Amino acid sequence: MRRLRVAVVGATGAVGRQMLSLLEERRFPVSDVVPLASAQSAGKRLSFGGGEVEVRALGPGSFEGVELALFSAGASVSREFCPVAAQAGALVVDNSSAWRMDPQVPLVVPEANLAAARTRPKGIIANPNCSTIQMIVALDPIRRAAGISRIFVSTYQAVSGKGARAIDELRVASERSLRGEEHAYQVFPGPMAFNVQADWKPAEGGYNEEELKMVNETRKIWGDPSIRVSPTTMRVPVLNGHTESIVVETTRKVTVAEARRLLSSAPGVVLCDEDRQPLPLAASGRDEVFVGRIREDLAVDNGLCLVVAADNLRKGAATNAIQIAEKLLLAAA
């Protein structure tokens, strides 16, 4: 199998490090890895391939000979450098919000709409938001069988979604709180230990950015602007792994038995036994989306209730990006 030169932009961040780890774990055929980050991080050494690789400063000439560029360095960096990487001939998969709603950039969850990735006028493919990805994986088998008209979703999102500094801050703050000491929060807007809060930027209508991402991204991925999504996103004091409570209204009635049958053979899904809950601890370190607690809803006609858990750094970010590359680059090799 032909081996590829792969660049990872944002290599020192939580998702960037996960991308490097997954390239090894999934035995992606890498001939040469190019870890890229800001000038401040240049010179750092990261583990890869049984040894170490040196982080390089991101710049206009960083993508020479690169065939795959994985981005996870923030929207401003992606807006500037994704087109540079694409112009250099790389397949670009971007994990930021920069390109998700661009009509010329496909927004892809491989289990649901891989075909969209084959038409990419700008040479860029966007990774959806982590909370959107796991919801789409869980609901797509039901949508294909029975149609979906409306979704109510509440999220319980781990602090790792804000990066490595957030994980460290929660650990320190929790220890200090148990000792009765105060903690000056730097990453979170207020107390996160033993607390629940919505810590995303406010948006229109009283919603926050994370909630509106789930609305707009779901419609784009499924190509259906008529689907109604009612989201509430919250951050919880869990280190890793997002959980979602979902009520989905289908076009025709779907029984619990049918839903379980559909999900039992769905790609990327682990269907939990009826007496077992999808838990972020169980999902952490895994690439699948865990689905369980499936019930007929008591208030919504044709409604089903589900609980969904997934590793937000893996399937919610790094794994989804690498799966896209595997499907497009390796299947054709």
Q: Which CATH number fits domain 132-312: 3.30.360.10, 3.40.50.12780, 3.40.718.10, 3.40.50.10710?
A: 3.30.360.10
Q: Is residue 183 flagged as an active site residue?
A: no
How many Å apart are CA 126 and CA 122, to the nearest integer?
A: 11
pLDDT tens-digit map of 21-68: 999 999 999 999 999 999 999 999 999 988 999 999 999 999 999 999
Query: Is the domain 4-129+317-330 a CATH 3.40.50.720 member?
Result: yes
Assessment of whether the complete model's pTM goes beyond 0.75: yes
User: Average pLDDT over the chain, rounded to whole?
Assistant: 96
Residue spans of alpha helices (H) in 62-129? 75-87, 110-113
Catalytic residue among 82, 183, 242, 305: 242
HSE-CB at 213 with a 13 A cutoff on CA atoms is: 24
Which pLDDT score is estimated for 235?
98
Please compute the mean of the pLDDT values over residues 14-23 and round it to a whole number.
Answer: 96
How many Å apart are CA 61 and CA 151, to the nearest integer?
A: 44
Catalytic residue among 82, 130, 272, 305: 130
Number of H helices, E strands in the chain: 9, 14
Backbone Cα Rg of the chain:
20
With H, G, I as helix, E, B as strand and everything else as coil, classify residue 124: strand
pLDDT tens-digit map of 109-158: 999 999 999 999 999 999 999 999 999 999 999 999 999 999 999 999 99
pLDDT tens-digit map of 64-113: 999 999 999 999 999 999 999 999 999 999 999 999 999 999 999 999 99
In the block, which residue shows the tokens 């038995």? 257
Q: Do residues 117 and 92 make contact, with C-beta atoms less than 8 angstroms apart?
A: no
pLDDT > 90? residue 275:
no
DSSP state of 329: I
Residues forming a β-bridge with 229: 151
Delimit the domains of the chain by residue range.
4-129+317-330, 132-312
Q: Is residue 130 flagged as an active site residue?
A: yes
